[in-house]
Amino acid sequence: MTAAGSIASAPLEKIALETYVPPAKPSLIGLSRAELAERLGTIGVAPAQRKMRAQQLWHWIYFRGAATFDQMTSISKEMRGQLEQHFTVARPEVVAEQISNDGTRKWLLRLPSGDAVEKAHEVECVYIPETDRGTLCVSSQVGCTLNCSFCHTGTQRLVRNLTAGEIVGQVMVARDRLNDWADRDTPGGGRLVTNVVMMGMGEPLYNFDAVRDALLIVADNEGIGISRRRITLSTSGVVPNIVRAGEEIGAMLAISLHAVRDELRDELVPLNRKYPIAELLQACRDYPASSNARRITFEYVMLKGVNDSLDDARLLVKLLKGIPAKINLIPFNPWPGTAYECSDWNQIEKFSEYIFDAGYSSPVRTPRGRDILAACGQLKSETEKLSARERQALRAMAMTD
């Protein structure tokens, strides 16, 4: 069993088919304080007032989660009317919500656009509740730049990059749906969305500027306020932007590794042909602020008979020597049409035990949301039309426990 034939002929990176077309009345979501002040200037707000007005907007948009200008009661009625005339604070539209047996929620989000000809673009966003945290898995592209052979999202076209507003908007939609805008200082009133992972649709480091700008807003303590230590950016290995991400974003880093030999990783993650394992790991060693307290996570999907031998485990330990690391072992999540199978549980445990004995944390990620195709590697927007066979398989999977 191999996907090498089809992957060998596939391009390493897809070209975006479309570009973002802003609506006639754009949303202010995704703008920094300086950008808010600049927009206020375009509607005639005096220079001396812009900084103060921008701070008011920031508080209402990102701290309180106001969905309309009418809710912004500390802003004059006249100013609210002016804002309403030119802007919105619209988030992506929730087209569908699925709730898994395990409490995982998946939202299909439609993105507003000024293009009346093309079908509105859609992405998926997943919320995973756990006893000690609530993790939101956020998308960075409509489709994906890459062609990873085991990943359902990778079978999509790359339609376009998301804007900073569309990325921040996913976090705001989750807070809206979960009623999670409560005062952070309320005794015993913890947040439901505590962690953000850039692990949804797309390769974040091929949409660097928008991802950076969005995550800086998400992390700002006067707004959404999710600590950078609770934000994880996952990449398949866009080496030139890894160190840059550490310097300009400062989030936790996760690497989709999945193989310890270049010839296999070339197949599983074709980007490896451009940035091979040795270059990727050197970028990890150079990642700013990595330490035992800020370890880099290496994601390793467990594929039966492909990358799950004890020889693979030994080489993995050898490769990561000297990098503050933890290794997330991910049982493969099947999707319609895949040629891969998940490793046997007994083999996963042996693999994990070897890594643990070598001194690395090696948790086996509990699959979440499999029944609604919300698990790792399963996201695939309805923007891409499914075949009849795929639709039938999706319905069957949705009915399984």
Catalytic residue ranges: 124, 376
Burial of 400 (0-12, 13-18, 19+ CB in 10 A): exposed
Three-class HEC string of the chain: CCCHHHHHHCCCCCCCCCCCCCCCCCECCCCCHHHHHHHHHHCCCCHHHHHHHHHHHHHHHHHCCCCCHHHCCCCCHHHHHHHHHHCECCCCEEEEEEECCCCCEEEEEEECCCCCCCCCEEEEEEEEECCCCEEEECCCEECCCCCCCCCCHHHCCCCEECCHHHHHHHHHHHHHHCCCCCCCCCCCCCCCCCEEEECCCCCHHHCHHHHHHHHHHHHCCCCCCCCHHHEEEEECCCHHHHHHHHHHCCCEEEEECCCCCHHHHHHHCHHHHCCCHHHHHHHHHCCCCCECCECEEEEEEEECCCCCCHHHHHHHHHHCCCCCEEEEEEECCCCCCCCCCECCHHHHHHHHHHHHHCCCCCCECCCCCHHHCCCCCCCCCCCCCCCHHHHHHHHHHHCCC
Q: Which of 57, 30, 39 is nearest to 164 (CA)?
A: 30
Residue 267 tokens, joined: 């197949």
Neighbours of 85 (CB within 10 A): 10
Q: Report how far residue 306's alpha carbon sits from residue 332's, in angstroms, rounded to the nearest whole number.
A: 12
Q: Report how far residue 286's alpha carbon sits from residue 392's, in angstroms, rounded to the nearest whole number.
A: 47
Neighbours of 158 (CB within 10 A): 23
